[in-house]
Amino acid sequence: MRDIVMYKVFLLDDDELILKELLETVPWMDNGFKVIGYDSNPVHALQRIPELCPDVIFSDLKMPDIDGHAFMKTLLDSNLNFEFVMVSAYGTFDDARTFFNHSGFDYILKPVQIEELQLVLERLANKLSKKRPFLPKTPEENITPAFLDLTEYLEKNFQEKFSLNKLSKQFALSPGYICNLFSKYYNTTLTCFLTDLRMKHASSLIIESNLSFKQIALECGYTDYYYFNKVFKEYYGVAPSKYTKQD
């Protein structure tokens, strides 16, 4: 049995109330993430992170002893492989430029909006999934009937907005069990499974229809065209406007 696909997250913020909010309100599991550690002390966090080996680090910018930029650079100099998301109330141009020059993944302003963070998690999951090949199901595998019903439902209704809790109630499967099944049969997460369906449909529409890119985004379940464009570019390596059948 394959290991469960669950991307590991470490959280760092010197405000413990913000840490608590991130832990309790962000839909980590829905997107295939698990918080494996958190800290309010950056010096202490630097000692813990090499042992925990997270896939993603969410860090505050302004902290005592060491700021987010120096924190990130110290870890990069240690040759650790991770994605870095800065969460800050101080959004100056110089801060953002320094962050992205160090290959940071995204820069989020406080107060954190769950909708915005959800989009970041989807993009993170899609990028991280490229390190683990997507494995479509085969007829020989004995897939749980309820899970088969769930995946067939998603394949027909991928334009809708889903959550683990909603699917759990609809198909009488626990959220954790759904995550396990996506890992076992597809070596992926719910979010990446849906993105795969949406992007393949988008590419077909670009090639075969005369719809505008905004209409195609809506057909694939994206109300925000800018976000659709970012997901498409990360998935295919080119923007929708540059995509051709040869790509």
Dihedral over Cα of 138, 144, 150, 153: its sign: positive
Q: What angle do CA 101, 106, 109 make, to 5 degrees?
A: 110
> How far apart are alpha carbons 106 and 30 in whole angstroms?
20
- Is the overall model pTM greater than 0.85, yes or no? no
User: 134-247 falls under which CATH superfamily?
Assistant: Homeodomain-like (1.10.10.60)
Instruction: Give the tokens for residue 35.
Output: 């918080």
Q: Which amino acid is at 229?
A: N
Per-residue pLDDT of 71-124, as tens digits, reads 999 998 888 889 999 998 876 778 878 888 878 999 988 888 887 888 889 888
**Fold of domain 7-129:** Rossmann fold (3.40.50)
Q: Which amino acid is at 49?
A: I
Per-residue pLDDT of 202-222, as tens digits, reads 999 999 999 999 999 999 999
Q: Where are the domains of the chain?
A: 7-129, 134-247
Closest residue by Cα to residue 122 from 70, 165, 162? 162
Give the pLDDT score at 138. Answer: 53
Give the pLDDT score at 140. Answer: 43
Mean pLDDT value of segment 44-52: 95
pLDDT of 135 above 80: no
> How far apart are alpha carbons 159 and 164 in whole angstroms?
16
